[in-house]
Structure 1
């Protein structure tokens, strides 16, 4: 009988500080978020590829500061003047480049929040110099903002995330399954979630335990 791994982890997904798994791939970004009161000019751009944990770390910062989280795409419909002095986390800021209404809204949000003592966190896939902003004043402010980077998840983080995702589904996993999955999957938290979902569905549909043999067959067929 295969040895089983069991972890004392939450039974449901969570995005708080205690649920953020710190490994070398994200330790520097986490330390920067925790020391937010020391950010130059009270602002930061958090950069990382999709699936590196930007959203989770944004929620961690919101929990520390009481900040409001706003998707950048919602800026044109947001009453920016109501946010003066508040701490704001703006997600996917790079996606508004070239949209005049959104760029103008971000420019005013930046000035109102910081002038009244708030703090501003922006997330993006790349550094502001690569966003393609067309409003010169906004571009200069964004390019002058301190950066923190999230690297692609390392093996330590992916292993812990996989075990947690299986545990969230009330599945204990064989010791050899995680080691089998790591070199066969894309290095992202989103891919970890997809793999766990696919394997769970396969095990349920066949009415059998999740094993390395089952995982090998399912993943080979999905390629």
Structure 2
């Protein structure tokens, strides 16, 4: 009988196990170690406000969500924070993701609420709060005085974890050496990892190093590869 099936670890597996989420799905490495260390023990006093910032896909929202689950924080998002009921936020930690999109009044109010017993406010954004455009002078001074912890773009360890997650989401088990091969050749970003996995999936073939090389070369020739 000619031609057999590809090895099982190169097949697209319809029963791939669930992708880890929460703390189990977060990979700690040098690029996020400081932020993870700080949030592990924060807040250590009442009335604290802090920000973590970093490039898209560096894991800041994931890390903040782990913190929110641990401390029982109320999660808010960007401009939608203006719709939150202040009574539900009093005396509780609050997580504001995409914080730079919140309006000045909402930001000022959340910072004030954080001063009450049991309160705390964690702001998450790509740019540092010192770079946000605000019109209220007192808010400007408060943002400029915040403790800010920066996260870096994914390093090898984190980028490999992102690739594994993207493959698992599509029920793809890449062949031996594929992830290491990609880590050395794609841009160090979550967007680049998602893009190359999408391209490989579109081939509907076992994901081997040979296929990875072919897809990368084709993308490079077309000029639309993340780099």
Please classify the TM superposition score into its range, dividing by the shorter chain length. Answer: 0.7 to 0.9
1:116 is matched with 117
Q: How many angstroms does 1:50 deviate by?
A: 0.8
Question: In 1, distance between residues paired with 2:7 and 2:38?
Answer: 41
Structure 1 unmatched runs, 5+: 97-101
C-alpha displacement of 1:40 = 8.3
Residue 49 of structure 2 contacts residue 114 of structure 2 at CA under 8 Å; is this kept in 1? Answer: no
Query: Structure 1, residues 52-96: CA drift from partner, whole Å, max 9, x if none?
Result: 011111111111111121112112333334311111110111234
Deviates further, 64-73 or 40-49: 40-49
CA gap 1:70/1:77 in 2 versus in 1, 3 angstroms: same
Which residue of structure 2 aligns with residue 54 of structure 1? 60
Q: Is the 8 A contact 1:81 1:112 kept in 2?
A: no
Deviation at 1:11, TM superposition (A): 2.8
CA RMSD of aligned residues (A): 2.4
Corresponding residue for 1:163?
A: 164
1:87 is matched with which residue: 84, 87, 93?
93
Query: Partner residue of 2:218?
Result: 221
Q: Structure 1 length normalisation: TM-score?
A: 0.83
What is the alpha-carbon distance in structure 1 between the residues aligned to residue 77 and residue 93 of structure 2?
14
**Contact 2:48–2:114 (8 Å) recurs in 1:** no
Instruction: For 2:119 and 2:24, locate their aligned partners in 1 and report how far apart those are by CA, in whole Å.
Output: 25
Match of 1:99?
none
Distance 1:85 1:108 in 2: 13
Partner residue of 2:185?
184
Aligned match for 2:36, one of 30, 36, 57:
30
CA contact (8 A) 1:45 1:148 kept: yes
Alignment-derived partner of residue 22 in structure 2: 16
Q: Secondary structure at the match of 2:43?
A: helix
1:175-223, CA deviations, whole angstroms, 9 ceiling, x for partnerless residues? 3312321233221123212322221222x2xxx2111222222233233
Cα separation, 1, equivalents of 2:170 and 2:140: 44
- The CA distance in 2 between the partners of 1:40 and 1:221, in whole Å, is 55
Distance 1:70 1:13, change over 3 A: farther
Q: Does 1:70 align with 2:67?
A: no
Q: Per-residue deviation at 1:4?
A: 5.8
Q: Is the 8 A contact 1:89 1:120 kept in 2?
A: yes
The answer to whether 1:44 aligns with 2:50 is yes
Q: How many residues align?
A: 210
Does structure 2 conserve the Cα–Cα contact (< 8 Å) formed by 1:16 and 1:56?
yes
Any idea what SS the aligned residue of 1:126 has?
coil
* TM-score for both structures, normalised by structure 2: 0.82
Structure 1 residues 158-167 or 15-24, which shifts more? 158-167
Contact 1:40 1:146 in 2 (8 A): no
